Amino acid sequence: MRKYRKREHIENYLRSSYTGSPLFDDVMLMHNSLPECDFYEVDTSTMFLNKKINFPLMINAMTGGSDFTEDINRDLSKIAKEFNLPMAVGSQTIALEDKDAIKSFKIVRDNMKDGIVLGNLSGRATIDEAKFAVEMIGADGLQIHLNPAQELAMEEGDRTFRGILTNIEKIVSSLDVPVIIKEVGFGMNKDVVKKLYDIGVRIVDVSGYGGTNFMEVENLRNPENDLSELYSWGIPTAMSVIGAKSLGLDDLQIISSGGVKNSLDIVKSIIIGADMVAISGEILSYLVHGGYEYTMQYLAGLIYKTKIVMTLTGAKNIEELKGSKYLITGRLKDLLCGCESK
């Protein structure tokens, strides 16, 4: 059942049609006509989990658990290795139940060598399951995904959500690797981020509204139960990032994901408060529709165009980029003002 569902998720994502906005278009960057830097001196490298990577981008959790998804993970991990980018595997829950599924996840570590690989489990995982997931792929960190909206959209999904925060705290205190808490496309408000910080979490992936819409993806599996009025549910990515950053927690790392597709999305994410950016659906689309080489070209183009934008803001490196000026406009400004008035 779970193995079949993995393939369904990919197929339904590729045929999903609802498009929300992460509200990056409401972030205006300031053009610098006198940038005191040259294009070729722009450095996009950064540190993540105590390792240097070439670009502040992670190939985010997608899949695993079958021959079909193993092929996808094989290609994605080769691409991540080529660009020296971190990669997170999809939920390893299936490998806890079916040992034959383990190889579809281990292929990522095999290809990545000493690159950064993240495991992935749900907030219901036990400590032993979390340790097994880390050992399975020699993970540098473990993503714990929060997906109540997705579960409620699934006919066979969970309906009970009490105790997850307490369980996450136990996992955080028991593992020897960092725990990254991520949403799955519905965003995190700053109160949730603060609760996670208070139990020891130091990396959050806000995974906001505007990218893969699991309300629709799950609804396509069970179309007779029309959930289309809920497709707009969630906190836009830009708003989630700004909210998390507004907490002023210097040792909190913020990952921006959810609707990140191009170089401007990446630059804007970092300028408004993210330390890293992650992409899943867009890369999957390039890989499935265009193939390996096409996906390589897409990522190479992302890096090249990001360097152009950095030059045009006068930022020679990622730290300088974080200090670049910007304006908030449109609906994002209205939403942020609304939050402040509460």
Please give the pLDDT value at position 2.
52
Query: Which of helix, strand or coil describes residue 21?
Result: coil
pLDDT computed for residue 77 by the predictor? 97
Backbone angles phi, psi at 219, to 5 degrees: -65, -30
| Domain, as residue range, for 139 | 2-341
Distance CA 133, CA 92 (A): 7
Whole-number pLDDT of residue 9? 64
Given this model, what pLDDT does residue 16 score? 72
What whole-number distance in Å separates Cα of residue 309 and Cα of residue 314?
Answer: 9
Helix residue ranges per DSSP H, the chain: 2-15, 67-83, 93-97, 102-112, 127-137, 148-153, 164-174, 190-198, 214-219, 237-245, 263-271, 281-290, 292-313, 318-322, 330-341
Angstrom distance (rounded) from CA 6 to CA 1: 9
Check: CB of residue 206 under 8 Å from CB of residue 244: yes
Tokens for 73, please give them: 């993970």
In degrees, to the nearest 5, what angle opens at C-alpha 315 toward C-alphas 314 and 321? 130
How many residues are recorded in the chain?
A: 342
Amino acid at 337: C
In the prediction, which pLDDT does 341 show? Answer: 42
Q: What are residue 231's phi and psi, to 5 degrees?
A: -65, -20
Six token digits for residue 69: 């998804």
316: domain CATH number is 3.20.20.70
Query: What is the spatial distance between Cα 283 and Cα 272, in angstroms, rounded to a whole number?
Result: 23
Cβ 144 vs Cβ 203: under 8 Å: no
Mean pLDDT, the chain cut into blocks of 10 residues (342 residues total): 58 72 98 96 98 97 76 96 97 92 95 97 97 98 96 92 98 98 97 98 98 89 89 97 98 97 98 97 92 97 98 98 97 87 40
What 25-28 contacts at long range (C-beta under 8 Å, 24+ apart), as own/partner pairs, is 25/330, 26/238, 26/328, 26/329, 26/330, 26/331, 26/332, 26/333, 27/238, 27/268, 27/271, 27/272, 27/326, 27/327, 27/328, 27/329, 27/332, 28/326, 28/327, 28/328, 28/329
Question: How many Å apart are CA 147 and CA 240, to the nearest integer?
Answer: 16
Residues 312 and 7 sit within 8 Å (Cβ to Cβ):
no
Residue 264 near residue 24, CB atoms below 8 Å: yes
Beta-bridge mates of residue 277: 57, 256
What pLDDT, on a 0 to 100 scale, did the predictor assign at position 19? 83
Number of domains in the chain: 1
pLDDT at 105: 95
Take residue 6 and report the two structure tokens written for it.
Answer: 């993995």
Name the nearest CA neighbour of 16 among 243, 256, 318, 218: 218
